[in-house]
């Protein structure tokens, strides 16, 4: 019987993975800010993969989205979403597909998404839900007219927001969320440590901004806690639409690529989990290539003898320097990291960087 169930399950999964777009945005609501002519939000985001399953441990629902537009930049975003949530989560060694086939409880138990269109900006946020009320989000902001992903700094510019003021407001929102969640907890050493981590500059910078259904500026922020996992990602409203300097959001004038500085941060965020391309690093100068290459090692916790490199990576909340340079070995890198190091080296050679 177990053999037949596995066969049926495999067929169902094959049909789901190869199926065309199956559903519209899960929010089911029209965006509050109208899109420019020809840019309708209806049916814009659909399921690239969907699978619902139930067993003695509970019900599982997996919905991985795609943006249903043909532009190459948008297709690159779709590819990134697929790699992040199907290849690296669903079909990973310990992912839900393996768990279901082997007959043990699947984690995460769901993947879902929501989205909104404001002006010509599509904001799409995807999250994996784990036991213990832990959700982990990834945000994608896309310009529907220029057909590429929008850097955080570009989104803030389109809203007329000064980045320093945004960070100040984001810090206040995170602080308020922490104090509210821990209001009835005693003031002890643990609470002080969690407050400090919650309000740290690295945690503020790590928040992922996007535009919500009402045109509000929102962000996925990490709020620290005194129980459970100790920290939780959650959607937060940073500024309501009426408080934003710019009401008509237009990114049609964006350049063909995101700013180089933002793309370096983007590279560092993904170099250990995605196969990146020449397009992703086009425009990098010699110094940025050094940061990109060494950032791959930093992702695996390598320390650096060069003080400038050490200081550079210490600004990122993901950097955990745990491995001495002399103790670092090549087998500490995964296949994505090896590929991306070779990518940068090839780029450097072609551009004559020493």
pLDDT of amino acid 41 = 57
Q: Are residues 134 and 161 in the same domain?
A: no
Q: Are residues 281 and 344 in the same domain?
A: yes
Q: Are residues 183 and 137 in the same domain?
A: no
Q: Are residues 128 and 220 in the same domain?
A: no
Asked if residues 307 and 297 have their Cβ atoms less than 8 Å apart, the reply is: no
The CATH number given to whatever domain includes residue 281 is 1.20.58.1690
Domain boundary among 107, 122, 145: 145
Flag whether 251 is in a domain.
no
The CATH number given to whatever domain includes residue 62 is 3.30.565.40
Q: Which residues pair with 149 in a beta bridge?
A: 142
pLDDT of amino acid 298 = 95
pLDDT of amino acid 19 = 32
Q: Are residues 218 and 323 in the same domain?
A: no
Helical spans, DSSP H, in the chain: 2-17, 72-82, 96-102, 152-158, 163-181, 189-198, 201-205, 260-270, 278-281, 286-298, 307-314, 335-351
pLDDT of amino acid 260 = 64
Q: Are residues 32 and 138 in the same domain?
A: yes
Total-model pTM? 0.69
Flag whether 150 is in a domain.
no
Separation between Cα atoms, residue 195 and residue 347, nearest integer Å? 43
Left, alpha or beta for 103 (phi > 0: left; psi -120 to 50: alpha)?
left
Residue with tokens 């990134």: 80
Q: Are residues 140 and 161 in the same domain?
A: no
Flag whether 254 is in a domain.
no
Separation between Cα atoms, residue 87 and residue 24, nearest integer Å? 22
Flag whether 255 is in a domain.
no
Q: Are residues 127 and 219 in the same domain?
A: no
- For 185-214, b where at least 16 C-beta lie within 10 A, e where not — what string? eeeeeeeeebbebbbeeebbbbbbbbbbbb
Q: Are residues 11 and 121 in the same domain?
A: yes
Separation between Cα atoms, residue 206 and residue 138, nearest integer Å? 11
Flag whether 249 is in a domain.
no
pLDDT of amino acid 164 = 87
Q: Are residues 286 and 225 in the same domain?
A: no
Domain count, the chain: 3
Structure tokens at 91: 């079909």
Q: Which of 202, 210, 209 lies closest to 231 in space, CA to CA?
A: 202
Q: Are residues 78 and 36 in the same domain?
A: yes
Report the side by side order of strands in the sheet with 110-118.
45-55, 58-67, 110-118, 121-130, 134-143, 148-149
Flag whether 151 is in a domain.
no
Separation between Cα atoms, residue 76 and residue 275, nearest integer Å? 12
**One pLDDT digit (tens) per residue for the chain, 354 residues:** 333 333 333 333 333 333 333 232 333 333 333 444 334 456 899 999 999 988 777 788 999 999 999 887 888 889 889 988 998 899 988 888 988 888 888 889 999 999 999 988 999 999 999 987 889 999 999 998 888 888 888 899 889 998 889 999 999 999 999 999 888 888 999 999 999 999 988 788 889 999 998 899 999 999 998 887 788 999 999 999 999 998 777 887 787 777 767 778 888 988 998 888 887 888 888 888 999 999 999 999 999 999 889 988 888 878 899 999 999 998 999 999 999 999 999 999 988 887
Q: Which of 154, 136, 116, 67 lies closest to 241 in space, CA to CA?
A: 116
Domain boundary among 145, 167, 193: 145
Q: Are residues 95 and 163 in the same domain?
A: no
Domain boundary among 145, 170, 187: 145
Structural domain for 211, as ranges:
156-243
pLDDT of amino acid 23 = 30
pLDDT of amino acid 16 = 38
């Amino acid at each position: 019987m177990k053999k037949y169930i596995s066969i049926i399950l495999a067929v169902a999964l094959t049909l789901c993975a190869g199926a065309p777009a199956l559903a519209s945005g899960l929010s089911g609501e029209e965006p509050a800010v109208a899109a420019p002519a020809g840019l309708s939000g209806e049916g814009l985001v659909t399921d690239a993969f969907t699978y619902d399953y139930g067993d003695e441990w509970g019900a599982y629902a997996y919905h991985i989205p795609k943006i249903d537009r043909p532009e190459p930049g948008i297709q690159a975003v779709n590819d990134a979403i697929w790699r992040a949530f199907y290849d690296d989560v669903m079909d990973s060694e310990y992912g839900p597909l393996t768990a279901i086939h082997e007959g043990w409880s699947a984690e995460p138990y769901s993947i879902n998404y929501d989205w909104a269109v404001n002006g010509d900006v599509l904001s799409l946020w995807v999250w994996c839900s784990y036991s213990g009320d832990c959700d982990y989000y990834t945000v994608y902001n896309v310009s529907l007219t220029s057909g590429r992903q929008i850097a955080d700094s570009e989104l803030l510019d389109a809203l007329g927001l000064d980045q320093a003021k945004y960070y100040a407001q984001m810090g206040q929102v995170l602080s308020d969320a922490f104090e509210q969640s821990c209001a009835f907890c005693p003031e002890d050493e643990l609470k002080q440590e969690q407050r400090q981590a919650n309000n740290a500059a690295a945690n503020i910078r790590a928040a992922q901004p996007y535009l919500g259904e009402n045109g509000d500026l929102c962000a996925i922020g990490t709020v620290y806690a005194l129980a459970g996992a100790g920290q939780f990602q959650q959607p937060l409203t940073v500024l309501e639409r009426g408080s934003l300097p710019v009401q008509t959001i237009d990114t049609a004038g964006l350049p063909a690529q995101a700013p180089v500085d933002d793309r370096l941060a983007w590279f560092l965020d993904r170099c250990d989990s995605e196969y990146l391309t020449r397009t992703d690093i086009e425009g990098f100068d010699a110094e940025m290539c050094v940061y990109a290459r060494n950032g791959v090692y930093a992702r695996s916790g390598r320390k650096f003898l060069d003080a400038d490199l050490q200081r550079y990576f210490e600004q990122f909340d993901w950097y955990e320097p745990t491995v001495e340079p002399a103790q670092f070995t090549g087998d500490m890198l995964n296949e994505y990291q090896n590929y991306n190091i070779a990518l940068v080296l090839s780029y450097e050679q072609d551009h004559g960087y020493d």
